[in-house]
Structure 1
Amino acid sequence: MKHDDNSIKPTENVATADNKNLMHIAQYIKTGQSGHKRSIPPLEQWHPKHCGAMDLLVKANGEWWHEGQLIKRQALVDLFSSVLWKEQGKFYLKTPVEQIEIQVEDEPLFINQVDVVEIGQQNYIQLITTHQDIVIVDAEHPIFMREYAGELRPYVHVRFGINALIQRAAFLHLVELGELSENAQGETILSLKSGDLHLHLSS
């Protein structure tokens, strides 16, 4: 948001408050984390009050920016990503006591690793985000195609209405796992199987 010259002091106050909120959230999550294992808190059980918005932006390329500055500490971004919440089309950082709106250009999570794992004598596609979230592709976590900025991009549903963009290298690995064909309209179809789920992605 742009401010005129007369709003310099209020802007600085907001920046200070935003930075304080960000550090409080980081400290809370850090305290709640156990060991080294990736842990997602039970956000659906929390009903905090809305505490406005902060100047935090997740860009479509995966970068997190706060107060116009790139957050370079991956550990900090990993912490914030674990309390991402989506409600009525808006994104938030959510704790038991506050829910603060942030801005997200596309989706805030990104898949960079693809594996095949055996579960109950069936092979499943396992996707891992840049924050070490593990997603098993199934009916509740399907892969789908959606347009962003004039380009069809592959996504997978992760949690709480939030999706992850499957990055290019990871998608090429999916192509190797699946079968390519062409439909009557001349579209390329990628067929994938994960457990009992059959996916047909057109591009």
Structure 2
Amino acid sequence: MNENGLTSLDQLAATGATDFDIRIARDGVWFYRGTPINRIPLVKLFSTVLRRDNDGEFWLQTPVERGRITVEDAPFTAVEVNANGAGRNQTVVFRTNLDALVTVDADHPIHVTFDSKTGEPSPYVTVRDNLDALILRAVFYELVELGEERDGGDGVVLGVWSQGEFFPLGGI
């Protein structure tokens, strides 16, 4: 961060941007010019240079080129969950659609937003650097099965423990 409080990505964004015709759909599929990118090793490579700035814009950034891309929801999806231990000693680990393993902890929290009209939950886990994975519905149901009830400020909440921290999933 520089003396103005900007990161290098924010500084680059301020100087102008190229828009890449790349879109990540809500289900985690990457598209180039409207066509799915079926080469998973290429998608994994692109994901290593994926960044999100403080304004919520998504970028592919290399040392020589950068461009804004469209992300419909989250750039990754959590396709599998595993838990070891129980209670405060439990560790929850997600596998993403690009085979990254994410251990839920203070730096990689679970957070849930709710649709204001339908009340439908959208659960996420932070993968890295302000980038989230949408937890797929079937995986979320597995996570709920691991949940414990706990008294919260507004009533009883259901949540899961991981790495000694409690992560609320929603009210009961």
Question: Taking structure 2 as the reference length, what is the TM-score of the superposition?
Answer: 0.77
Letter in 2 for 1:86: R
1:94 to 46, 61, 81: 61
Task: Please identify the structure whose Cα radius of gyration is greater.
Answer: 1
Given that residues 58 and 64 in structure 1 are in contact (C-alpha distance below 8 angstroms), is that contact kept between their aligned partners in structure 2?
Answer: yes
Q: For 1:137-166, what per-residue CA distance to the aligned partner results, in whole angstroms no more than 9, with x for missing partners?
A: 111111011146953210011111111101
Q: For 1:117-142, what per-residue CA distance to the aligned partner results, in whole angstroms no more than 9, with x for missing partners?
A: 47xxx431111111111111111111
Counterpart of 1:67?
33
Counterpart of 2:129?
160
- The answer to whether residue 148 in structure 2 is matched with residue 179 in structure 1 is yes
1:133 to 74, 97, 100: 100
Question: Taking structure 1 as the reference length, what is the TM-score of the superposition?
Answer: 0.66
Given that residues 28 and 97 in structure 2 are in contact (C-alpha distance below 8 angstroms), is that contact kept between their aligned partners in structure 1?
Answer: no
- The answer to whether residue 5 in structure 2 is matched with residue 56 in structure 1 is no
* Aligned length, in residue pairs: 157
Counterpart of 2:162?
194
Point out where structure 2 has 5 or more consecutive residues left out of the alignment: 1-6
Counterpart of 2:90?
123
CA distance in 2, matches of 1:189, 1:178: 10
CA distance in 2, matches of 1:146, 1:112: 18
Given that residues 49 and 98 in structure 1 are in contact (C-alpha distance below 8 angstroms), is that contact kept between their aligned partners in structure 2?
Answer: no
CA distance in 2, matches of 1:126, 1:132: 12
Given that residues 58 and 104 in structure 1 are in contact (C-alpha distance below 8 angstroms), is that contact kept between their aligned partners in structure 2?
Answer: yes
Change (3 A) 1:141 1:184: closer
1:80 to 46, 51, 56: 46
Given that residues 59 and 66 in structure 2 are in contact (C-alpha distance below 8 angstroms), is that contact kept between their aligned partners in structure 1?
Answer: yes
CA distance in 2, matches of 1:153, 1:188: 19
Letter in 2 for 1:126: V
- The answer to whether residue 111 in structure 2 is matched with residue 144 in structure 1 is yes
Give 4+ residue runs of structure 1 displaced > 3 Å after superposition.
44-51, 147-151, 180-185
1:141 partner SS:
coil
Given that residues 48 and 95 in structure 1 are in contact (C-alpha distance below 8 angstroms), is that contact kept between their aligned partners in structure 2?
Answer: no
Given that residues 81 and 139 in structure 2 are in contact (C-alpha distance below 8 angstroms), is that contact kept between their aligned partners in structure 1?
Answer: yes
1:107 to 74, 96, 108: 74
Q: Which has the larger helix fraction?
A: 1
Using the TM superposition, name which of 71-80 and 156-165 deviates more: 71-80
Given that residues 90 and 164 in structure 2 are in contact (C-alpha distance below 8 angstroms), is that contact kept between their aligned partners in structure 1?
Answer: no
Counterparts in 2 of 1:39-54, with a 5 A limit?
51-54=17-20
